[in-house]
Homo-oligomer: A and B are copies of this chain.
Amino acid sequence: MSQLDVRFAPVILAGGSGTRFWPRSRRARAKQVLALDGDETMIQQTLTRLLPVAQVEDVWVVTNHWLAGTIAEQMPTLKPDHLLSEPVARNTAPACALTAFMLEKTEPETVIGVFPSDHVVKSIQRFAKVLTAGIKVAAAGENIVVLGVPPTRPETGYGYIEQGSEAPEFTEVPVHRVKRFREKPDRHTAERFLAAGNFAWNGGIFLWQAKTLTNAIREHVPDMAAILEKIAAAHGTDSFENVFAEQYPQCENISIDYAVLERRSAKGETRSGIYCLPADFGWNDLGSWASLHEHLGSHEDDNVLDGPTNGLVTIESEGNYVYAPGKMVALLGVDGLVVVETDDALLITTRERSQDVSKIVRQVHEGLKRDDLI
């Protein structure tokens, strides 16, 4: 039990495919298990920032078979049967809901928090404060809590949360009712959202009681509920792996946003019971080499030489990101590039194009059939 009166079970989603930070990340070395930012890997950082609020025995991880072994090594305090390795990827709805069905069996009022494992947070203190407040909102009824990241630019790569009226019954941090979830907008719409002032980025962090989520799944995706109930029933028994492998692939491939949040929000601001709290703790999703460049911050001429280095020489070069461990790096007359070198690969692109690195990975896989390199 945490310092709260309610049991809180964080579910860390770690199902990455390791394409965004290729060639550093691979299927078996996705960014969650890399130390892109500091000494701890991203999933270790995710756990560290949860522990002021959660007990480690209440933590769950949902991952895939490429990463399960590495995560088990990196999180030695995780309960072994709390590490769930999906037989196939089925998007976030079943990944979020599976633990809800497991917990519902014994403690249906446990508040579950869903946390991506590949985001960074600047203020752990503020994170804990917002999280604690959110757990209380989730525990206060059949509420759904989402954390909304205060937007700083008209980003087209995230979904948005349109906030409605303030909920004065919650006072620790500002809480708003959610009016609507909006899919990734075009540039013009994103600018309008930013100007409106009541939109936040959907960073994929949700809180709800186990029974709130299971009931929502039963209501909106009943087939999935039936499947997940079978898997949950087998958890803790010898047949679990078999049932999981057999049943899980039958789940619909659907995001939690689309399966539950958007449908529930359609009931209207006051009846949906969805609340938004501000994720104002220095959030960055490190979604590309460009966002890592931004996160690693100000260096001379905005050139970032990442990793263990052996010196940097620059002449008339600005805004480059280079990862080339152990090498002297020389930049001459180049701007805005991303160059990443590993033992077996060298990626050369620009910050602007770095979000398309997955296209390279696809070509290595499909065109060159070089699965040794992905």
Contact = CB atoms under 8 A, between A and B. Distances in A.
Interface of A: 22-23, 310-311, 313, 315-317, 320, 322, 324, 326-334, 337, 339, 341, 344-350, 352-354, 356-357, 359-360, 363-364, 367-368, 370, 373
Nearest to A339: B348
Nearest to A313: B363
B313 A330 contact: no
A328 B311 contact: no
Contacts of A370: 311, 328
Contacts of A332: 347-350, 353-354, 356-357, 359-360
Given A328-B370, A331-B348, A337-B337, 17 more contacts: A22-B330, A23-B330, A310-B345, A316-B353, A324-B341, A327-B341, A330-B345, A330-B347, A330-B348, A332-B347, A332-B348, A332-B349, A332-B354, A333-B349, A333-B350, A337-B348, A341-B346
Q: Closest 3 CB pairs between A and B?
A: A333-B353, A332-B349, A328-B345
A359 B331 CA distance: 11
Report how many copies the assembly holds.
2
B328 A373 contact: yes
Contacts of A341: 324, 327, 341, 346
A327 B315 contact: no
A126 to B, nearest CB: 36
Nearest to A357: B332
A324 B346 contact: yes
Which of A313, A344, A345, A347 is the most central at the interface, judged by chain B CB atoms within 10 Å of its CB?
A313
Nearest to A335: B350
B360 A330 contact: yes
14 contacts: A22-B330, A313-B364, A315-B359, A322-B348, A327-B341, A327-B346, A328-B373, A329-B345, A331-B348, A332-B356, A332-B359, A333-B353, A334-B349, A334-B353
Nearest to A353: B333
Contact of A363 (B310, B315, B367): B315
A346 B332 CA distance: 11
Contacts of A328: 23, 344-346, 364, 370, 373
Given A328-B373, A332-B353, A348 B363 contact: no
B313 A360 contact: yes
Given A311-B368, A315-B363, A346 B373 contact: no
Contacts of A368: 311, 313
A22 B332 CA distance: 12
